[in-house]
Chain A
Amino acid sequence: MNDLLRRLLDLPEQASQHARDVDGLHYFIVLTTLLVGLAIFATTIWFLVRFQRRGEGEATPEVQPTRWHEAVFIGVPLAFFLLWFAIGFPQYVDLTRPPPDAMDVFVQGKQWMWKFAYAGGPSSLDVLRVPAGRPVRLLITSRDVIHSFFVPALRLKQDALPGRYTETWFNADRPGRYQIFCAEYCGLSHSGMLAELVVMPASDFDDWLATQRRGLTRAQDGAPTPGEALLPGTSLVEQGRTVAAEQGCFKCHSVDGSRHIGPTFLGLYRRHERLSTGELVTADEAYITRSMMDPAAQVVADYQNVMPSFQGRMTPPEVAAVVEFVKSLANPAEQPGPSEGPAYEPIPSK
């Protein structure tokens, strides 16, 4: 019965008890609504046929409601509405009360990706792994505009607000992979802000987390948490690649020469770029740096001015590392050899 109704209504899989409870209310409302609707429209059609006009000048009696009518018209719908509310509201309240033993995951939305961080350090981009059958509390925030963390299979949604944390929780009981959407409009790639919820058998999850903590497979789907010091010993170019990945540069800029939302990094350094104003610039260190800090100032022709400013979001060494990374992708003829000192041009703050 549950499965039949779920399919009829095109509802996604139910990955938690909460999802099944909410769907139960859904079925109850749909069935009562259809019954009442059928009654109302059958009555309407009956009146329409029965009281069809049969001649011009036909007289009609005056009909006025009695108290009894009014009581039924108000009482019956109100009783249903309040009954539904009495079922639905506690389900919602339950979502705001995480169990004390829930595992915490910090969720950060930013244009246009999700970042999940676990207690003790491990983190991942766009993949949220959780153990099946154990409660998970999400502490959600945003780094820029409002996003909304939405898992249809859990019937769960919570806005990610900049400057504050919101919380919600779930207990996914079916291992599997489920879609995560951003549900609050957040700009150009809103519909590309997708992630995946991977519900793992609890023991697998424990193993995975332990490996993550040992740092053995960090490269798999991890990236350093913000503010984490750049690893000493790696080259500036490698650090730049890591920073660019963490900041989401690759969401818009390819490194293989293909055209995306922004110009490709491949061969960018010292390339002559035609700007939207018609002016020609050379993409040197100063231009690349300014493009990160004040992207609207000099937009390359045929590209939309959609890039957010990274001023204040990256430390000067990180900026230098990204510039060095872009330089490493230059045409061989333009390879300038190692740069002396960070190519960083500070922009005076407003």
Chain B
Amino acid sequence: MSPSPASSPPVYAVRNYLNTPATGLRSWLTTRDHKRIGVMFLVAVTVAFAVGGFFAMLIRVEHLTPGPTIMDAMTYNRVFTLHGVVMIFLFMIPAIPSGFGNFLLPIMVGAKDVAFPRLNLLSFYLYLLGAGIALWGMIHGGADTGWTFYTPYSTTTSSKVVPILLGAFVLGFSSILTGLNFIVTTHTLRAPGITWTKLPLFVWSIYATSVIQILATPVLGMTLLLVAIEHAFGWGIFDPARGGDPVLFQHFFWFYSHPAVYIMILPAMAVISEVVCAFSRKNIFGYKAVAYSSLGIAFVGFFTWGHHLFTSGQSPYDAGIFGALSMFVGIFTAIKVFNWVATMYKGSIDFKTPFIYFLGFLFFLFFGGMTGIALATVSLDIHWQDTYFVVAHFHFIMVGSTMMAFLAALHYWWPKMTGRMYSERWALVAAVFIILGFVFTFLPQFLLGNEGMPRRYFSYPERYWALNVASTAGASVLAIGFTIVLGYILVALRYGAVAGPNPWGSRGYEWLTPSPPPLENFDVLPAFERGPHQYHDLPAAPPTPAPGPAGEAAGASHG
């Protein structure tokens, strides 16, 4: 898939990042413009999502019968590994920060670009390189370890685990460079007038994410390298027969991978804070509480990794500390949930597609979060650990919420990125399919976990059959929903109504510039007098150009 926006220059636009300095493929591949890099990331992660989704459907179809359905056990083990690796390393981690973050963060701080544009492009190519290496490994055998690569299984398996590990290792550098770029940009390139407390909440959350990315990802790199070395040369780091410790790997791995959950969820919270304000036309309820709770999550998130090891034989003292600290991550999230809901109070709510995804986000975050709290009580985790309950829990909290936020972001910023509107009616239909499909995929899995069905089971006892079929049915609805989205956004690229600079009437800084934005983001740098979530002086604001003929006129006059 080539970067599709390049192939359809909006008819109304005079000079914007899509046609400046050139429109050819080469000008995209060598660009240093953060917006183009963001768009390329979005296209790449969408392809990765389609691949990961394909693997997910294979898993669900396999589970239509208790025994073998369409594949053998070895293939199944590889498929669930690839589903996890692709979705986590190629989609969830880069999707919002590298895609939307790249596009929006520099505009939101009033900068012309990120601090290190070349490094930014390198980050994209590292992503492609890492994805390529992992893909090579998948085609030549694939790994059968699960995305968690637990030793000593991963160091003794005969499958191609090394290329997948190296792929993830390279992808880590992509993540680190992006994080580094965002931190420096936020510190040094804020436009005059944008103080720390006038930063959009999106920037706060992406900033917190970046801190985790540069502190935790190196640990993952080291860990994966150690596993690769042990697999290839047999050093015995994790092999008890040679004095190694297999559980050490789990500590290393979760020291990264637990904060990585927040690398996925914090950007989702970033998006939601923007969407709830823009569509409620209302200031955020408790700016500081929402902003600082992101930092709180980033900080406490580093000290909860042991809650993945309650059954691994760690001491009860460790388990108690990790369990209690996990509760505090829950508190920071609870603050945000209450504040988002309270933001709607006395607002002027425009019930458009991004707002539907906000409601979906709230649902998955609440139930995903509360099941997480239940797991952190330790005694319940002993029953649920490694069952489908945990599978359903993390799909709700990280996939469900992140997916909702990704779709909210896609719809909210689609007119900003492409200058065109999508079909609101089709978007509504797709949103209903996706939210219901997601609920019906994972609700049966919570029950399967209660009943005790362990995860990563190729075959399962008869009594789990009905709920597995229900889950597969839900997944099919979900797949239909995503297909609809892909359909109407591709149509919107060419045939969508021209959006104009600010179709939503949002006060976010990114809406102060034309859509799509010009090469260096602002033709004239605004004064940034108002806050990015400030709506109470609204009558003085310019009227919202509605999509359609009126919007076209507004867009033309701006262009």
Q: Which residues of A contact B (CB under 8 A)?
A: 9-12, 21-22, 25-26, 29, 33, 36-37, 40-41, 43-44, 47-48, 51-54, 56-65, 69-70, 73-74, 77-78, 81-82, 84-85, 87-89, 91-93, 95-96, 144-146, 148, 150, 152-153, 155-159, 161-164, 166, 179, 181-192, 261, 296, 304-306, 308, 350
Q: State whether A187 touches B458 (Cβ < 8 A).
A: no
The answer to whether the Cβ of B348 comes within 8 Å of any Cβ in the partner chain is yes
Q: State whether A157 touches B320 (Cβ < 8 A).
A: no
Complex contacts, A26 vs chain B, CB 8 Å: 374, 380
Q: State whether A92 touches B316 (Cβ < 8 A).
A: yes
Shortest Cβ-Cβ A-B pairs, 4 listed: A163-B240, A152-B452, A88-B377, A91-B379
Q: State whether A9 touches B447 (Cβ < 8 A).
A: yes
How far does the alpha carbon of A77 sit from the alpha carbon of B339 in the complex, in Å? 14
Complex contacts, B370 vs chain A, CB 8 Å: 29, 33, 36-37
The answer to whether the Cβ of B130 comes within 8 Å of any Cβ in the partner chain is no
Q: State whether A92 touches B310 (Cβ < 8 A).
A: yes
Known contacts A9-B447, A44-B344, A150-B386; A96/B316 CB under 8 A: yes
Q: State whether B367 touches A182 (Cβ < 8 A).
A: no
- Which residues of B (357-373) have their CB < 8 Å from a CB of A? 359, 362-363, 366-367, 370, 373
Complex contacts, B345 vs chain A, CB 8 Å: 47, 51, 63
Complex contacts, A43 vs chain B, CB 8 Å: 341
The answer to whether the Cβ of B197 comes within 8 Å of any Cβ in the partner chain is no
Q: Shortest CB–CB separation between residue B128 and chain A, in angstroms? A: 30
Q: State whether A62 touches B283 (Cβ < 8 A).
A: yes
Complex contacts, A47 vs chain B, CB 8 Å: 341, 344-345, 347, 349
Complex contacts, B310 vs chain A, CB 8 Å: 92
Q: State whether B544 touches A56 (Cβ < 8 A).
A: yes
Known contacts A40-B341, A41-B363, A51-B349; A185/B150 CB under 8 A: yes
Q: State whether B347 touches A51 (Cβ < 8 A).
A: yes
Q: State whether A58 touches B538 (Cβ < 8 A).
A: yes
Complex contacts, A56 vs chain B, CB 8 Å: 505, 543-544, 546
Q: State whether A85 touches B156 (Cβ < 8 A).
A: no
**What are 14 A-B contacts with C-beta separation under 8 Å?**
A10-B448, A33-B367, A43-B341, A48-B349, A52-B349, A60-B283, A60-B346, A61-B346, A77-B331, A77-B334, A150-B452, A162-B152, A183-B455, A184-B386
Q: Which residues of B contact A (CB under 8 A)?
A: 72-74, 77, 144-146, 150-153, 156-158, 234, 240-241, 246-247, 280-283, 285-286, 289, 310-313, 316, 319-320, 323-324, 327, 330-331, 334-335, 337-339, 341-342, 344-351, 359, 362-363, 366-367, 370, 373-374, 376-380, 382-383, 385-387, 447-448, 450-452, 454-461, 467, 505, 534-539, 541, 543-544, 546
Complex contacts, B156 vs chain A, CB 8 Å: 144-145, 308
Complex contacts, A73 vs chain B, CB 8 Å: 289, 334-335, 338-339
Q: Shortest CB–CB separation between residue B1 and chain A, in angstroms? A: 33
Partner of B285, one of A63, A144, A162: A63
Partner of B538, one of A60, A84, A162: A60
Q: State whether B281 touches A37 (Cβ < 8 A).
A: no
How far does the alpha carbon of A45 sit from the alpha carbon of B255 in the complex, in Å? 39
Q: State whether A183 touches B331 (Cβ < 8 A).
A: no
Complex contacts, A163 vs chain B, CB 8 Å: 240-241, 246
Q: State whether B319 touches A53 (Cβ < 8 A).
A: no
Q: State whether B77 touches A146 (Cβ < 8 A).
A: no
Partner of B359, one of A12, A44, A304: A44
Q: Shortest CB–CB separation between residue A77 and chain B, in angstroms? A: 4
Q: State whether A161 touches B377 (Cβ < 8 A).
A: no
Known contacts A51-B280, A57-B544, A158-B311; A192/B459 CB under 8 A: yes
Q: State whether B74 touches A304 (Cβ < 8 A).
A: yes
Besides A78-B331, A93-B320, A350-B234, 17 other A-B contacts (C-beta < 8 A):
A51-B348, A56-B505, A60-B283, A62-B534, A65-B342, A81-B373, A87-B377, A89-B320, A92-B379, A146-B153, A187-B153, A188-B73, A190-B456, A190-B457, A191-B454, A191-B456, A305-B158
Q: State whether B459 touches A40 (Cβ < 8 A).
A: no
Q: Shortest CB–CB separation between residue A224 and chain B, in angstroms? A: 23
How far does the alpha carbon of A58 sit from the alpha carbon of B460 in the complex, in Å? 57
Q: State whether A40 touches B158 (Cβ < 8 A).
A: no
Chain B residue with the shortest CB-CB distance to A49 = B349
Q: State whether B153 touches A145 (Cβ < 8 A).
A: yes
Q: Shortest CB–CB separation between residue B34 and chain A, in angstroms? A: 32
Interface centre among B457, B459, B460, B539 (most CB of A within 10 A): B457
Complex contacts, A184 vs chain B, CB 8 Å: 150, 386
Known contacts A92-B319, A185-B150; A44/B311 CB under 8 A: no
Complex contacts, B337 vs chain A, CB 8 Å: 40
Partner of A85, one of B153, B282, B324: B324
Complex contacts, A96 vs chain B, CB 8 Å: 316
How far does the alpha carbon of A100 sit from the alpha carbon of B335 in the complex, in Å? 46
Interface centre among B324, B344, B370 (most CB of A within 10 A): B370
Complex contacts, B351 vs chain A, CB 8 Å: 48, 52-53
Complex contacts, A158 vs chain B, CB 8 Å: 311, 313
Q: State whether B144 touches A179 (Cβ < 8 A).
A: no
Q: Shortest CB–CB separation between residue B113 and chain A, in angstroms? A: 33
Complex contacts, B151 vs chain A, CB 8 Å: 146
How far does the alpha carbon of A81 sit from the alpha carbon of B285 in the complex, in Å? 24
Chain A residue with the shortest CB-CB distance to B343 = A63
Complex contacts, B146 vs chain A, CB 8 Å: 185
Complex contacts, A85 vs chain B, CB 8 Å: 323-324, 327, 376-378
Complex contacts, B374 vs chain A, CB 8 Å: 26, 29, 33, 84
Q: State whether A57 touches B74 (Cβ < 8 A).
A: no
Chain A residue with the shortest CB-CB distance to B382 = A157
Chain A residue with the shortest CB-CB distance to B156 = A145
How far does the alpha carbon of A33 sit from the alpha carbon of B363 in the complex, in Å? 12
Q: Shortest CB–CB separation between residue B507 and chain A, in angstroms? A: 11
Complex contacts, B327 vs chain A, CB 8 Å: 78, 81-82, 85
Known contacts A78-B327, A163-B241; A65/B378 CB under 8 A: no
Chain A residue with the shortest CB-CB distance to B535 = A60
Q: State whether A186 touches B153 (Cβ < 8 A).
A: yes
Q: Shortest CB–CB separation between residue A176 and chain B, in angstroms? A: 15
